[in-house]
Structure 1
Amino acid sequence: MSLYALFGSWLDTLSLSAYLCMGLMVLVGAAMQGVGGLGYAMLCAPLAALYFPELVPGPLLAVGAPLALLAYLRERQALDVRVAAAALAGRVVGTAAAAVLLSLVDADGLAIFFALLILSGVALSLVGWKVAPTVNNLSVAGLFSGVMGTITAAGGPPFAIAMQRLPPATLRSTLGMVFFIGTLVSLAALTWVGRMGGAQWFYSLALLPWMLAGFSVSTALARKVSRDRIRHWLLGTALVSSLVILWQAL
C-alpha cells in the first residue's frame, strides 16, 4: 500500500511552505534539547499552538519520544537511576491525573495554574533558592510535568527547576529516559481520550527526519557547554515557556 493511499487526504491539506516551517521548528528544538537536556517542547509547543495547532499536543509528543530516547542512549553511562525513578513516578501519576482533568476541567485554566507555579519557581531560583534533586522534589516535579506535558506538550519546566544543579551529562541522559517513558504514557492517555488518531500520526512521521537532523547537530555541541550555562539555559527556557503558555491561555 502506498503512502498516498494511507495519508493522501492529509498530504493534500499540507502545503510545502507549512511543512518546511514545521520541520525547521522541530530541527531547532531537537538541537536545543540535545545540548541542554530541555528545549524541544519549550520551543515547539508555543510556536505550534500559535501557527500549527494540528501538532499540539499529540504529534509533538510522538516526535519527542524518539528524541528523548536518543538523548538517553548517547550518554546512558551518566544516567542517575534514583533521579529517573522519582521523576518518572511523579510523571506517571501526573499524566493519569491530566487524562481525568481534561475530561472535567477547562484545559486553559489548568495551563494558567501550572504556568504561574513554574514562574514562581523560576523567580525563587533566580534570587538564590536552591532546589536539591531529592526524591520528594523530583516526584513533585514529575507530577507537574505529567500534567503540563499532557495538556500543553511542554512538560519540561518543572524538571528545569528540580534538576538545574545536576551535571550536564547526567541531566541530559536522565531527562532523556524520563521524557521517553513519560511521553509514551502521555501518548497512551491522549489515545484513550481520542486525541491521537491517523492525522496526528501522519504529522509525527512527516517530522521525524527533521528531529533526527536536529539531534545530529547537537552531538558536536553538547560536550562544549558548561554546567552554569546549562543551568541558566534551563531557567531561561522555563521562564519563556511558562510566559508563552500563560499568554496563550489568557
Structure 2
Amino acid sequence: MALAALWPAGMEAGRYAAMGALVFGGACLQGVGGLGFSMFCAPVALLLFPELVPGPILALGCPLALLAGLREFSAIEWGTAGYTLAGRAVGAALATAVLQVLSGPTLSILFALLILAGVGLSVRGWVVSVTPRASAAAGVASGLMGTITSAGAPPLAIAMQDLPPAPLRATLGCVFFVGSVMSLIALAAAGKTDARQLLIGVLLLPWMVAGFFASGPLARRMSRTGVRKVLLGLAAVSALAILAQSLVPTHA
C-alpha cells in the first residue's frame, strides 16, 4: 500500500518497463565507452519520456559515474579530471543565469551544431590534445549543456577521444559523478527539478545498476580505436537527436 501511494501518477507498468530498458541500454554504453548514458537516454527521453529530463537522468548519472570511476580507480587522470571539473562548475553556474535569458531550445540547437562540427573535424583527422586548457573548456561546455539538456557528455567525447580506454572511462566517471551533483544543485537553484523527478530516478536505479554490470565483459574487449569510434558516433547521434527535437514542433 505504501509503495502504491509513492508510485508516480501516470507511470504504468509498461511505461516503467520501457523507461527501464532505456536506462539499461544507456548504462551499458557508458560502462563500455566511459560515457553514453545521457547522450543516449536524454534525446530519446525528450521525445518519449519527458518526465525523465533533466532531473532523473542526472540523478541516475551520479551513482553510475561513481561505479565507473571505482571500477578502474587506479587509471584516473587526476589532473585532467581537476581541470575539467573546474570548468564544469563554471558551466553549471552559468547555466542558471543563461536559462533566465535564453530558451532551452535555442541553446540546444547551438550546442548540437557545435558538437556536429567537432565530430566532423575529428572524423577528418583532428584530434584534441588533452591539455589543461582544453579540459577546462570542455568542462565549461559540458556544464552548460548538461544542466540545460541533461546531455553534457558530447564536449568531453570530443576533448578526450585520444585517451586510452581505461583512463578515459575512469576519468570520465570521476568527472561525471562530481559534475552531475553540480548540475543537480544548479537545477534545484533554478527551480527546474522537484521531488517527483528524483523519485522516478530512484525507481529506475535497479535498471541502471544492471546495465552497468552487463557492460563489464564488453569493456574489456574494446580497443582504443573502437572506443574512439563509439564516442564520436554517440556524440553525433546525440547532437542530431537534440537538434531534431528542438527544430521539429511537437503536438500535445
TM-score over 0.5 (shorter chain)? yes
How far, CA to CA, are the matches of 1:2 and 1:20 in structure 2? 21
Matches within 5 A, 1:166-177: 166-177=163-174
Q: Residue in 2 aligned with 1:152? A: 149
1:186 corresponds in structure 2 to 183
Q: Which runs of 4+ in 1 moved over 3 A?
A: 1-5
Of 14, 19, 24, the residue aligned with 1:22 is 19
Match of 2:45 in 1: 48
Work out the CA distance in 2 between the residues paired with 1:213 and 1:230: 21
**Structure 1 stretches of 5 or more lacking a match?**
none
Map residues 27-38 of structure 1 onto 2, 5 A cutoff. Answer: 27-38=24-35
Distance, in Å, in 1 between the alignment partners of 2:109 and 2:198 is 28
Show the counterpart of 1:201: 198
Corresponding residue for 1:59?
56
Structure 1 residue 3, shift from structure 2 partner:
3.5
The amino acid across from 2:154 in the alignment is P
CA distance in 2 between counterparts of 1:160 and 1:222 reads 17
| 2:110 maps to which of 113, 121, 137 | 113
2:3 aligned residue: 3
- In structure 2, C-alpha distance between the alignment counterparts of 1:195 and 1:222, rounded to whole Å: 35
Q: CA deviation at 1:129?
A: 1.1
> What secondary structure sits across from 1:13 in the alignment?
coil
Query: Percent same amino acid among aligned pairs?
Result: 53
The Cα of 1:127 is off from its aligned counterpart by 0.7
Which consecutive unaligned segments of at least 5 residues does structure 2 have? 248-252
SS of residue paired to 1:155: coil
| One-letter code aligned to 1:164 | Q
Report the CA distance between 1:105 and its aligned residue: 1.0
Tell me whether 103-112 or 16-25 shows the greater mean CA deviation: 103-112
1:104 Cα offset (Å): 1.6
Structure-2-length-normalised TM-score: 0.96
Partner of 1:87: 84
User: 1:240 pairs with 225, 237, 244, which one?
Assistant: 237
Deviation sequence 1:87-117 (CA, Å, 0-9, x none) = 1111110011111111221111111111111
Match of residue 158 from structure 2: 161
- The residue that corresponds to 2:93 in the other structure is 96
Write out per-residue CA displacement over residues 99-145 of structure 1, whole angstroms, 9 at most, x where no aligned residue.
11112211111111111111111111111112101111111111111
Aligned alpha-carbon RMSD (Å): 1.1
**Residue in 1 that maps onto 2:250:** none
Q: Distance in 1 between matches of 2:98 and 2:173?
A: 26
Using the size of structure 1 for normalisation, the TM-score is 0.96
